[in-house]
Chains A and B, each alone.
Chain A
Amino acid sequence: AQSVAQPEDQVNVAEGNPLTVKCTYSVSGNPYLFWYVQYPNRGLQFLLKYITGDNLVKGSYGFEAEFNKSQTSFHLKKPSALVSDSALYFCAVRDKNDYKLSFGAGTTVTVRA
C-alpha cells in the first residue's frame, strides 16, 4: 500500500519569503514522488518529480523539492514566494512497480502581498 500525508491544510507566507510545503510518504518499494499545483477550477499542473539520482529536484516556476529517504519526506520549497504562487498543492507517490498515483489531501498556499 502507498500513501501520502500533507500535515498542513494551509500555509500562509508573505511575498518574498521562503515557502515550504511539507509531504511525507509511505510506499513498500522505491518511491516515485511528484508535486502538482491546482489553481481554482483548473486541472493539476505538473511541477516536478523525483525518480532517482540527486535528492534535490528542480522544477517549474522556481520550485524545488528535496527527497529525504530516512525521513520519508519530499518537501516542496521556493526561496522567494510570489502572490501568484497562491494555489492548492498536491504531493503524490507511486511505487516503482505501479502506475497508480496516491495523492495527499492538498495544502492551500496563500501568499500575501
Chain B
Amino acid sequence: NAGVMQNPRHLVRRRGQEARLRCSPMKGHSHVYWYRQLPEEGLKFMVYLQKENIIDESGMPKERFSAEFPKEGPSILRIQQVVRGDSAAYFCASSPSAGLETQYFGPGTRLLVL
C-alpha cells in the first residue's frame, strides 16, 4: 500500500508566478490535510478537505492560496503570485476518516521563491 504521494518534491518559482502542489492520499483515505512548515518552525495547519469539499480552510491565507480535492485525481494546493515569504515546505497528510484516525504524511514539497 503506497503512502501519501506528493509532487513535485522541489519547486522553484520566481516572484509573481503560480505554484501548484499535488497530493495523492493513501489508498482508501478520503480526508486530506495541508500543513506548512516554515524554516525552524513546526508545522502549521492550513486546510482540511474531503472529496469535493473544503471542510476547514481557517489556516490558509485569505488571498492567493486555494485548495481543492476533486472527485477524481489528487488534491491541489495552488499559490498564485508567489512571494518570497511563501518559501516553505508544504506537507500533505491523509486519513481514512477524521475521528480517531492518525494522519499520515507525505514527503512534502519544498517551495523556493526567488
User: Are these two chains actual partners, yes or no?
Assistant: yes
B104 at the interface (CB under 8 A from A): yes
Categorize the interface residue count of chain A: 20 to 34
B2 at the interface (CB under 8 A from A): no
Q: Do residues B59 and A100 form an inter-chain contact, with CB atoms below 8 A?
A: yes
Q: Closest residue of chain B to A99, judged by CB?
A: B98
| A29 → B minimal CB distance (Å) | 14
Categorize the interface residue count of chain B: 20 to 34
User: Which of B56, B98, B107 is A43 in contact with, Cβ under 8 Å?
Assistant: B107
Q: Closest residue of chain A to B45, judged by CB?
A: A100
Q: Do residues A43 and B106 form an inter-chain contact, with CB atoms below 8 A?
A: yes
| B83 → A minimal CB distance (Å) | 23
Q: Do residues B41 and A100 form an inter-chain contact, with CB atoms below 8 A?
A: no
Task: List residues 85-113 of chain A with CB under 8 A from any CB of chain B.
Answer: 90, 92, 99-106
Task: List residues 17-65 of chain A with CB under 8 A from any CB of chain B.
Answer: 32, 34, 36, 41-46, 49, 51
| A99 → B minimal CB distance (Å) | 5
**Measured between alpha carbons, how far is A67 from B31 in the docked complex, in Å?**
27
**Measured between alpha carbons, how far is A16 from B67 in the docked complex, in Å?**
46
**Pairs A-B, 3 closest by C-beta atoms:** A103-B42, A43-B107, A44-B105
Binding site for A on B (CB under 8 A): 4, 6, 31, 33, 35, 40-45, 48, 56, 59, 91, 98, 100, 102-108, 110
Binding site for B on A (CB under 8 A): 4, 32, 34, 36, 41-46, 49, 51, 90, 92, 99-106
